[in-house]
Structure 1
Amino acid sequence: MIEPSLTAAMRHALVTYQPKKLSLDRPKAAVLVPIHTDPEPSVLLTVRASHLNSHPGQVSFPGGMMEPIDPNLAHTALRETEEEVGLSPSGIDVIGELSTAYSKDGVLVYPFVGIVSDPYQSVASPDEIAEIFHVPWQFFASQAPELQAIDRHGMSFHIPHFHYEGHHIWGMTAMILLELINLIEGTDWPTPDFTLATRPGETP
Structure 2
Amino acid sequence: MEPLRSHRPRQLTLSTPKAGVLVPLVETEEVGVLLTVRAAHLNSHPGEVAFPGGMWEREDQNLAETALRETHEELNLPPSRIQVLGSLSTGLSKAGVQVFPYVGWVEHLDDCRASPDEIADWFVVPWAFFAQTEPELIPVHRHGTDFQIPHYHYQGRHIWGLTAMILLELINLVEGTDWPLPAFTPRDDDFSV
For Structure 1 versus Structure 2, the TM-score category normalised by the shorter chain is over 0.9
Unaligned segments of structure 2, at least 5 residues: none
In structure 2, the partner of 1:3 is none
Which one has more relative contact order, counting CA pairs under 8 Å at least 6 apart? Answer: 2
In structure 2, the partner of 1:159 is 149
> Bigger shift: 185-194 or 149-158?
149-158
> Bigger shift: 189-198 or 68-77?
189-198
Q: Which secondary structure does the structure 2 equivalent of 1:173 belong to?
A: helix
In structure 2, the partner of 1:20 is 10
Task: Work out the CA distance in 1 between the residues paired with 2:93 and 2:143.
Answer: 9
Unaligned segments of structure 1, at least 5 residues: 1-9
Question: Which digits, 9 at most, give the CA deviation of each residue in 1:56-104, with x for residues without a partner?
Answer: 1000000000000101000000000000001000000001000000111
Task: Work out the CA distance in 2 between the residues paired with 1:192 and 1:128.
Answer: 28
Q: Which secondary structure does the structure 2 equivalent of 1:194 belong to?
A: coil
1:114 aligns with 2:104: yes
Q: Which has the higher strand share?
A: 2
Q: TM-score, normalised by structure 2?
A: 0.93
In the TM superposition, residue 153 of structure 1 has moved relative to its aligned partner by: 4.1
User: CA distance change for structure 1 residues 194 and 175 in 2, over 3 Å: closer, same or farther?
Assistant: closer
User: CA distance change for structure 1 residues 173 and 194 in 2, over 3 Å: closer, same or farther?
Assistant: closer
**For the Cα contact (< 8 Å) 2:23–2:104, is it kept in 1?**
yes
In the TM superposition, residue 196 of structure 1 has moved relative to its aligned partner by: 5.1
Percent identity over paired residues: 61
How many residue pairs end up in the alignment? Answer: 190
After TM superposition, list the pairs within 5 Å mapping 1:37-52 onto structure 2: 37-52=27-42
Question: Which digits, 9 at most, give the CA deviation of each residue in 1:100-133, with x for residues without a partner?
Answer: 0011111100000000001242110000000010
**For the Cα contact (< 8 Å) 2:101–2:166, is it kept in 1?**
yes
| 2:183 counterpart (189, 193, 197) | 193
RMSD of Structure 2 on Structure 1 (CA): 1.5
Q: TM-score, normalised by structure 1?
A: 0.89
